[in-house]
Amino acid sequence: MGLLALGTPLSWDDSKKYNDFIRINGIKHLLSVFHNCSNRTNDPLLWGDEVEYMIVKFNYSDKTAKLDISNDNILNLLNDEKNYLNDCNERNIHFHPEYGRFMLEATPLSPYFNYNGDNYIEFNMIQRRILADNILKDLNADDVKTQSHKLVTITSFPRLGSKNFTTVDDSQLWNHKNNYSRSLFLPDEIINRHIRFPTLTANIRSRRGEKVAINIPMYQDLKTPKMDDTIDFNRNWFQNEDKEAEFASMEKFIYMDSMGFGMGCSCLQLTFQAPSLPMSRYLYDSLINLCPVMLSVSSAAPFFKGWLADQDVRWNVISGSTDDRAPYERNVPSLLKNSNQYGGIDPKEFENTKHLPKARYSTVDLFLGGNDFFNRSYNDTNVPLNDTILEQLLENDTYPMDYDMAKHFAHLFIRDPLVIFEENLTFDENKDFDVLQNHFENIQSTNWQTLRFKPPTDRFSTDSSSPGWRVEFRPLEVQLSDFENAAYSVFIYLLAESILKSSNKLNPYIQMSKVWENMDLAHKRDSTSTEKFHWKDSFEDSISTTSSLYSIDEIFHNKDNGIFNVYINPILIKKGFVESDWKELKYSEDKQRLYYYLKLISDRSSGKIPTTARYMRDFVLRHPDYKQDSKISELINYDLLMMCDRIASLDDSNGELSSYFGTELVDYLQNNKIVV
Ligand code: ADP
Ligand code: MG
Ligand code: MG
Ligand code: MG
Ligand code: MG
Ligand code: MG
282-328 pLDDT per residue, tens: 999 999 999 999 999 999 999 999 999 999 999 999 999 999 999 99
Q: Minimum-distance ligand to the CA of 259?
A: 5
The pLDDT, as a whole number, for residue 552 is 98
Using CA atoms, how far residue 100 sits from 348, 399, 446, in Å, is: 35, 39, 17
The pLDDT, as a whole number, for residue 145 is 84
pLDDT bracket for residue 30 (50, 70, 90):
very high
The pLDDT, as a whole number, for residue 1 is 43
User: How distant is the alpha carbon of residue 296 from its chain centre?
Assistant: 14
Q: Can you tell me the distance from the alpha carbon of 260 to that of 433, in angstroms, rounded to the nearest whole number?
A: 32
Helix or strand (DSSP H, E) at 286: helix 277-287
Q: Minimum-distance ligand to the CA of 107?
A: 1
Ligand 5 centroid distance, CA of 601 (Å): 23
Using CA atoms, how far residue 136 sits from 73, 74, 91, 131, 543, in Å, is: 10, 8, 18, 9, 56
Could you identify the atom of ligand 1 that is nearest to the CA of residue 468?
A: 23
Ligand 4 centroid distance, CA of 53 (Å): 9
Q: What is the mean pLDDT of residues 144-152?
A: 92
Ligand 1 centroid distance, CA of 45 (Å): 12
Instruction: Please give the ipTM for the structure prediction.
Output: 0.96
Using CA atoms, how far residue 553 sits from 59, 528, 550, 572, in Å, is: 41, 8, 8, 21
Instruction: Tell which one of 47, 266, 280, 448 to mutate to probe ligand 1, the residue whose CB is within 8 A of the most ligand atoms.
Output: 47
The pLDDT, as a whole number, for residue 492 is 99
Instruction: Tell which one of 50, 440, 450, 466 to mutate to probe ligand 1, the residue whose CB is within 8 A of the most ligand atoms.
Output: 50
Does the pLDDT of residue 10 top 50, yes or no? yes
Minimal-distance CA residue to ligand 1 atom 27 = 47
Does the pLDDT of residue 504 top 80, yes or no? no
CB 467 within 8 A of CB 272: no
Could you identify the atom of ligand 1 that is nearest to the CA of residue 50?
A: 14
Three-class secondary structure assignment of 175-235: CCCCCCCCCCCCCHHHECCCCHHHHHHHHHHHHHCCCCCEEEEECCCCCCCCCCCCCCCCC
- 242-263 pLDDT tens trace: 999 999 999 999 999 999 999 9
- How many helices and strands in the chain, by DSSP H and E? 27, 17
Q: Please state, as a whole number, how many other Cβ atoms lie within 10 Å of the Cβ of residue 667.
A: 13
Could you identify the atom of ligand 1 that is nearest to the CA of residue 2?
A: 6
Could you identify the atom of ligand 1 that is nearest to the CA of residue 49?
A: 14
> What number of residues does the chain have?
676
Ligand 2 centroid distance, CA of 422 (Å): 24
Could you identify the atom of ligand 1 that is nearest to the CA of residue 110?
A: 16
Ligand 6 centroid distance, CA of 125 (Å): 16
Could you identify the atom of ligand 1 that is nearest to the CA of residue 467?
A: 23
Does the pLDDT of residue 372 top 90, yes or no? yes
Q: Can you tell me the distance from the alpha carbon of 294 to that of 611, in angstroms, rounded to the nearest whole number?
A: 12
Q: What is the mean pLDDT of residues 83-91?
A: 98
The pLDDT, as a whole number, for residue 305 is 98
Residue 433, classed as helix, strand or coil, is helix
Backbone angles phi, psi at 118, to 5 degrees: -90, -170
Does the pLDDT of residue 460 top 90, yes or no? no
Does the pLDDT of residue 95 top 80, yes or no? yes
Three-class secondary structure assignment of 512-553: HHHHHHHHHHCCECCHHHHCEEEEECCCCCCCCCCEEEEEHH
Using CA atoms, how far residue 584 sits from 577, 598, 659, in Å, is: 9, 11, 25
144 versus 574: which is more confidently predicted?
574
The pLDDT, as a whole number, for residue 151 is 98
Does the pLDDT of residue 216 top 50, yes or no? yes
Minimal-distance CA residue to ligand 1 atom 14 = 48
**DSSP of 16-71, one letter per residue?**
GGGHHHHHHHHHHHHHHHHHHHTT------EEEEEEEEEEEEEETTTTEEEE--S-
Instruction: Tell which one of 271, 437, 448 to mutate to probe ligand 1, the residue whose CB is within 8 A of the most ligand atoms.
Output: 271
Q: Minimum-distance ligand to the CA of 474?
A: 6
Q: Are strands 448-449 and 361-362 parallel, antiparallel or unpaired?
A: parallel
The pLDDT, as a whole number, for residue 2 is 46
Maximum distance among all alpha carbons in the chain? 70
Could you identify the atom of ligand 1 that is nearest to the CA of residue 107?
A: 14
Residue 418, classed as helix, strand or coil, is coil
Q: Can you tell me the distance from the alpha carbon of 185 to that of 162, in angstroms, rounded to the nearest whole number?
A: 7
Does the pLDDT of residue 277 top 60, yes or no? yes
Residue 275, classed as helix, strand or coil, is coil
pLDDT bracket for residue 463 (50, 70, 90):
confident
Ligand 5 centroid distance, CA of 263 (Å): 5
Ligand 2 centroid distance, CA of 458 (Å): 18
Quote the DSSP letter at residue 634: H
Ligand 5 centroid distance, CA of 267 (Å): 6
pLDDT bracket for residue 143 (50, 70, 90):
confident
pLDDT bracket for residue 3 (50, 70, 90):
low
Q: Can you tell me the distance from the alpha carbon of 404 to that of 452, in angstroms, rounded to the nearest whole number?
A: 16
CB 52 within 8 A of CB 125: no
Long-range CB contact pairs, 498-501, < 8 A, 24+:
498/567, 498/568, 498/570, 498/571, 499/282, 499/283, 499/286, 499/287, 499/567, 500/45, 500/272, 500/274, 500/275, 500/279, 500/282, 500/283, 501/571, 501/574
Ligand 4 centroid distance, CA of 187 (Å): 21
Rg, Å, the chain Cα set:
24
Does the pLDDT of residue 393 top 70, yes or no? yes
Q: Can you tell me the distance from the alpha carbon of 467 to that of 271, in angstroms, rounded to the nearest whole number?
A: 11
Output b/e per residue, 328-343; b: 16+ Cβ within 10 A.
bbbeeebbbeebbbbb
Report the mean per-residue pLDDT for the chain.
97
Task: Please give all residues whose beta carbon lies within 6 A of any atom in ligand 1, as ranges.
Answer: 1, 46-50, 96, 107-108, 111, 269, 271-273, 467, 470, 472
